[in-house]
Amino acid sequence: MQLTITTLTDQIFTLEVSEDLELENFKALCEFETGIPSHEIAILWNGRPLQDNKKTLQQYGISSGEMLLLQQMRAGAGSTGGPRTTASSALPQIDFGSIQIPGSSGHQGTRQQQPAISQSDPRLEDPETIRQMLLSNPHEASIIKERNPPLAEAINDAAKFADVFRKQQKDRQDKDQERIRLLQSNPFDPEAQKMIAEEIRLKNVESNMETAMEFAPESFGQVIMLYIDCQVNGHPVKAFVDSGAQMTIMSQACAERCNIMRLVDRRWAGVAKGVGTQRIIGRVHLCQIQIGPDFLQSAFSILEDQPMDMLLGLDMLRRHQCIIDMAKNELQIGTTGTVTKFLSESEVPEHARLNSAGESRTSLDDEDSQLAQALAKSSEEAANNKPSTSKSSKSPSTSFPTFPEEVVKRLISFNYSREAVLEELRRSNGDADKALASLVAKSFQQPKQ
């Protein structure tokens, strides 16, 4: 059967052994793997020390695939090196001095060696020295910006940098002291076990990152988004090609620059919720986009606060059978055969070159708050734009069918007047879906002069 052995120094190895193997022979195999004398080895399974060296692994109940903990006992901890540990011996005293403390350079350094390591170069404890080293090394400064944003933000202010540096240093020291205290007091405490598991996880993460840096360094590079040059109403625009977006959108600032705000149908106002929340001002139902020598028809949803000028969504890409060719770095318009190159990094807008990993992300609470505010603002504007109720010109004796108020309110929420909703409900005999379809169809009709 196969067993996995681990130590508190994160050394892990596996052994293929027989279930009839006695504990003392199992310790001899571990001695060969670790170099620790077998009489100083303590084996623990499920938090319980295995004390009888003459028992087999099967007698202990250990099965294939189990994980055992190996630790070296302190000298003179009651183990005489004899073949059997007496039944009166208590839990072996484990030597935690070989545990590597974060920040130390040695893998097996004892606690007595720690002061010498930390005091080997006093300049490394000086915040100003660290700050000057970072300022003189752009590569290291970029790494700090990615891995320690608070420290990177204070790099141009000596006093602030010193405060942040000392605070983080103190937090690390407190964490290390708490870690050592837990491990020395009771290594089988649930909190200590969680700490050990987290350190193993972090070590695996670091190992995974080092492997990626060695064999796939390109994965750490920044990918430039796909932009093309086009024109809207004769005005040049850099459009972002996004096959993951459902609809083509344009910012209000770009729409004003292209002089198409006069075509915005505000009945299509609403809220766009994806990565963040933005208010939709309305929709331009038809406008031409010039890509190369061709003019293509498209509709735009106008967003109030959108960082990019224009985004070509899936509706536009599907309508014109566009092909995104990454091998040739170009966009092919299937309906016309036009080919346009994607812009290089120097040609894309400034906001498209920002590293999103270093930017602060909006929390879910803030996003929900923005959505609630946008919905309230949209409802308020819809109420203000609702025409005042006029007296009916029909005879009072004329009877009209009544409809559920929740159905009426749902249709009104699409920015249609109550009178129009009731009229379409009467025509569709109360079928809300048919009434909504009729209202949408009428919204596309040209207004009568």
Name the average pLDDT for the chain.
76
In the block, tokens 């909006």 appear at: 362
pLDDT level of residue 240 (50, 70, 90 thresholds) = very high
Q: Are strands 310-312 and 235-241 parallel, antiparallel or unpaired?
A: parallel
What pTM does this model have? 0.45
DSSP string computed for 33-92:
HH---GGGEEEEETTEE---TTSBHHHHT--TT-EEEEEEBPTTSS--S-SS--TT--SP
Whether the pLDDT of residue 120 is over 80: the answer is no
Q: Which of 132-136, 141-145, 318-322 is least confident? A: 141-145
The mean pLDDT of 118-137, rounded to a whole number, is: 70
Question: Which of 48-57, 162-171, 322-331 has maximum average pLDDT?
Answer: 322-331
pLDDT of residue 401: 59
The mean pLDDT of 297-301, rounded to a whole number, is: 89
pLDDT level of residue 346 (50, 70, 90 thresholds) = confident
Q: Please say whether the beta carbons of 334 and 320 come within 8 A.
A: yes
Six-digit token pair at 175?
Answer: 């964490």
pLDDT of residue 352: 66
Which tens digits make up the pLDDT trace of 200-220? 898 899 889 888 888 888 887
Six-digit token pair at 444?
Answer: 């596309």
Instruction: Report the distance separating Cα 136 and Cα 375, nearest Å.
Output: 50
Nearest Cα neighbor of 363 from 278, 274, 271, 276 is 276
pLDDT of residue 433: 77
**Domain architecture of the chain: domains with CATH:** 2-72 (3.10.20.90), 111-220 (no CATH), 227-354 (2.40.70.10), 405-443 (1.10.8)
Whether the pLDDT of residue 232 is over 50: the answer is yes
DSSP string computed for 289-318:
EEETTEEEEEEEEEESS-SSSEEE-HHHHH
Burial of 194 (0-12, 13-18, 19+ CB in 10 A): exposed
Six-digit token pair at 388?
Answer: 């005042």
Q: Which of 141-155, 256-270, 347-361 is least confident? A: 347-361
pLDDT level of residue 364 (50, 70, 90 thresholds) = very low
Q: Please say whether the beta carbons of 331 and 241 come within 8 A.
A: yes
The mean pLDDT of 119-139, rounded to a whole number, is: 72
405-412 and 432-443 helices cross at what angle (nearest 10)?
Answer: 20
Helices (H), 252-303: 252-257
Q: What percent of the chain has pLDDT over 90?
A: 14
pLDDT of residue 241: 93
Whether the pLDDT of residue 230 is over 90: the answer is yes
Which residue of the set 242, 309, 368, 431 is catalytic? 242
pLDDT of residue 382: 56
Residue 242 is a catalytic residue: yes
Burial of 250 (0-12, 13-18, 19+ CB in 10 A): buried
Whether the pLDDT of residue 270 is over 70: the answer is yes
Which tens digits make up the pLDDT trace of 426-441? 887 778 877 877 777 6
